[in-house]
Structure 1
Amino acid sequence: MNISRPGAFAAAVLLLDALVHLFWVVRPIADPRALSLAVLNAEVPFTPRVLLPLILVLSVGALSVAAASGGRGGWPARAVTMAVGAGVLVRGLVGVVWAFGLGTDTGSPFYWLNLFLYTPVCLAMTLAVGIVLVRARRPVSISS
């Protein structure tokens, strides 16, 4: 299956995120509170009960983006890809608000991770998924 570069980028980010969460299941964190505050800016338990469904959602999202990018999977792959795009767009826009210091402590690890990692990656993924969806709507041309 041929996957476009934007599709490969978005799928790779989702799979990497799934692998990071799987790592946290296999090797629990020494200070889950500090990790939760750095990653989410809130206290959320990093337990298998929370992480395993998230790993599944991220993996399905990655596979759907890859399938839609390669012209496979039909409307289910495109629908999940659209949901991925909407999710990263919302996260990216909220991240822009946080980048201006609204709703977060500008000295916290979360603020800096959001400013230089989370928000730029989410906005780049939004663009990549948008490209995948636009290309997925084009009819396939058959050359002789």
Structure 2
Amino acid sequence: MKARQVVAGVHVLLAAVHVYWATGVTWPAIDQRSLSQAVLGQEVSFAPQVVLPLAALHVVLAVAVLKVDRLRLAQLVVAGLAAGLALRAAAGLVWDFGLGTDSGTAFYWLNLFFYTPACITLLAADLRLLRTRQLRELPA
């Protein structure tokens, strides 16, 4: 399986999770407050008008990743995605050192062992996709 299919699959999975949350289900947490605290480290709404646009964004990102070798617009979208992932990974590393978050929370541990490593991995994959595209465009 190609890297872009894996990365696109991750975005489709994230879209599905956001659609799932839009139904009002709070799994894997017991309630919306706990879900919000675990996922974002603060209390925010998981109402459909909040999570459905995020689901749509992940679908757009999945399509862009799949088309990155064929469309210039897709390449720009993936470059924007990489920039966003770089910012999130940097913030995650700050939080990993205990700055701005309490080490006794679920968010801290999820960020340390899941969220930040996932962002770094996706960032590396996106950069690889962009680099592969650029290498193809070089004159022979």
TM-score normalised by length of structure 1: 0.87
Q: Which is further off, 118-127 or 59-68?
A: 59-68
Distance in 2 between residues matched to 1:140 and 1:93, nearest whole Å: 30
Task: Report the counterpart of residue 44 of structure 2 in structure 1.
Answer: 44
- Kindly report structure 1 stretches of 4+ aligned residues shifted beyond 3 Å: none
Of the three residues 82, 104, 115, the one matched with 2:79 is 82
Of the three residues 107, 111, 114, the one matched with 2:111 is 114
CA contact under 8 A between 1:9 and 1:128: conserved in structure 2? no
State the 1:8 CA deviation: 2.3
Distance in 1 between residues matched to 2:119 and 2:6, nearest whole Å: 11
Deviations 1:86-125 (A, max 9, x none): 1111111110110011000101000000000000000011
RMSD of the TM alignment (CA)? 1.6
Distance in 2 between residues matched to 1:38 and 1:90, nearest whole Å: 20
| Aligned-partner residue type, residue 55 of structure 1 | A
CA contact under 8 A between 1:96 and 1:119: conserved in structure 2? yes
Give me the identity figure in percent.
40
Distance in 2 between residues matched to 1:9 and 1:123, nearest whole Å: 15
Q: Which is further off, 25-34 or 38-47?
A: 25-34
Task: Structure 1 unaligned segments of length 5 or more: list them.
Answer: none
Distance in 2 between residues matched to 1:16 and 1:106, nearest whole Å: 28
Task: Report the counterpart of residue 131 of structure 1 in structure 2.
Answer: 128
Distance in 1 between residues matched to 2:94 and 2:7, nearest whole Å: 23
State the 1:64 CA deviation: 0.3
State the 1:43 CA deviation: 1.1
1:59-98 paired onto structure 2 within 5 Å: 59-68=59-68, 71-72=69-70, 74-98=71-95
Bigger relative CO (Cα 8 Å, ≥ 6 apart): 1
| Aligned-partner residue type, residue 31 of structure 1 | D
| Aligned-partner residue type, residue 2 of structure 2 | S
